[in-house]
Amino acid sequence: MRVKPDLSFWKLWNISFGFFGVQIAYALQSANISRIFATLGADPHNLSYFWILPPLAGIIIQPIVGSASDKTWTRFGRRIPYLFVGAAVAVIVMCLLPNAGSLGMAAGAAMVFGLVSLMFLDTAINMAMQPFKMLVGDMVNEKQKGLAYSIQSFLCNAGSLAGYLFPFLFAAVGIANTAPGGVIPDSVIFSFYIGAAILILCVVYTTVKVKEMPPETYAEYHGITEKEKNEKTTMLKLLAKAPSVFWTVGLVQFFCWAAFMYMWTYTSGSIAYHVFDTPVKETVDESTRLVKIVLDTKAVQYQDAANWVGILFAVQAIGSVLWAAVIPFFKSRKRIYSLSLALGAAGFISILFIHNAYLLFASFLLIGCAWAAMLALPFTILTNALSGGRMGTYLGLFNGTICIPQIAAASLGGVALSLFTPPGGLAPEINMLVLAGILLIIGAACVHFIKETPGNGK
């Protein structure tokens, strides 16, 4: 098997550059979905259910994209066609989703429109996102994979930073940050428009700059024989043959991604009430006809808090970039992986005790440490244990370790929040952030189950 040659820094950069635009789209979704559906009238206990669709789309789409692209070759490449189509669909949906409350529909119809748009958006983002990880596995040698995924992590966090800041910046320059009941503010709508434009430009750049290996060359570098090319297999058979790190890293992933699902779902409500003193109002639960207390999402305090959540998520992205630069200095990947998750846990739990908007920066810098490790280390550990022509399929299947915990967390989020909520009282969403911290502590402990194969580090 031939050894893949070293690539220049800029070739490594070009392979992942489109990820910057994809991550802007993902950040806008992550930071604003709860805000959008709360504005449309969703109950806090039901917010987590809206988050089931994104990972559900991911667990279906990414293995299909991985498997199909393993068998694809066009004059544009094997991964890039899927990347481009996914980005194009995402651009269209990003222009539709934030207008869910502006099309003259009743509240229920607007929420259904938003749900359908969210499903298509996350399907498209997943279709565009997965090829970048596959391109690194396809084109980069073992020696440079750490650098390649670090570049991808940097671009991921830079894109997140931009996406998180857009609503705050647009509000700062005078674009309306409040709107009538059930209507999404213009600051959010314009953010999605700009994010869509950047996404397509970044993806076009990668499409033009990156030339994938033709099938014959790919087979030589990946040790694929004619027999392996023609071998019939299924995803279940591949899972049965998966290296042990696939499962042990997946166990850590379960607790990590469940924790971040709760961050994306409940940070807006937590910060709005505990830091920005958002007023509450009485409403009648249509199913039980009981009076309950909820946050007033039309209040300026709520919308200001939602913008500040974007700032906090941007701080998290900055913390992630800084910590990503520290990670390579640790010889033991397991040690830095566990330490990073423990720091993130401390960040989540500390939010309970902080009532100053600026002091929350410290909490989210710590959370960024966990995020940096989650972006880089699992894929470095896994791809070092993989070879051959099933790289895309395995990476698509590995995405299940990201999606399944999010689906589980979203499904149980409303039940968990109900356990904390007094009858008729305001839902204490901040308790879910403490739960996220506890989940990261468990994840940090599970890191010790990972056994990397000889020669891949310790």
In-domain check, residue 84: yes
Q: What integer pLDDT is reported at residue 287 of this predicted model?
A: 62
In-domain check, residue 301: yes
CB 210 within 8 A of CB 77: yes
Query: Any idea what the CATH number is for the domain that residue 333 is in?
Result: 1.20.1250.20
166 residue type, one letter: F
Give the CA angle between residues 35, 38, 41 to the nearest 5°. Answer: 150
Q: Go through 336-353 and write b for each residue having 16 or more CB atoms within 10 A of its CB, e for each that does not.
A: bbbbbbbbbbbbbbbbbe
pTM: 0.77
CB 138 within 8 A of CB 79: yes
CB 380 within 8 A of CB 145: yes
Q: What integer pLDDT is reported at residue 173 of this predicted model?
A: 93
In-domain check, residue 438: yes
Contacts of residue 255, defined as CB under 8 A and 6 or more positions apart, other chains included, come to 405, 439, 440, 442, 443, 446
Instruction: Say which residue the tokens 């710590």 belong to.
Output: 366
Quote the CA–CA distance of 151 and 167 in Å, as a whole number: 26
SS3 of 72, please? coil
SS3 of 139, please? helix
Beta bridge partners, 74, equal 77
Q: Dig out the tokens for 74 from the structure.
A: 């066009």
Instruction: Say which residue the tokens 């891949």 belong to.
Output: 456
178: part of which helix (H) or strand (E)? none
In-domain check, residue 3: no
417 residue type, one letter: L
Residue 452 burial by CB count (10 A; 0-12/13-18/19+): exposed, middle or buried?
buried
Q: What integer pLDDT is reported at residue 231 of this predicted model?
A: 62
Q: Please write the tens of the pLDDT for every residue from 255-273.
A: 999 999 999 999 999 999 9
- The domain of 148 spans 9-449
In-domain check, residue 172: yes
CB 407 within 8 A of CB 52: yes
Q: Dig out the tokens for 173 from the structure.
A: 């320059």
In-domain check, residue 458: no
In-domain check, residue 356: yes
In-domain check, residue 457: no
Alpha-helix residue ranges (DSSP H) falling in 279-359: 300-326, 333-350
Q: Please write the tens of the pLDDT for every residue from 155-176.
A: 888 898 899 899 999 999 999 9
In the chain, which stretches have pLDDT less than 50? 454-458
Number of domains, the chain: 1
Q: What integer pLDDT is reported at residue 389 of this predicted model?
A: 57
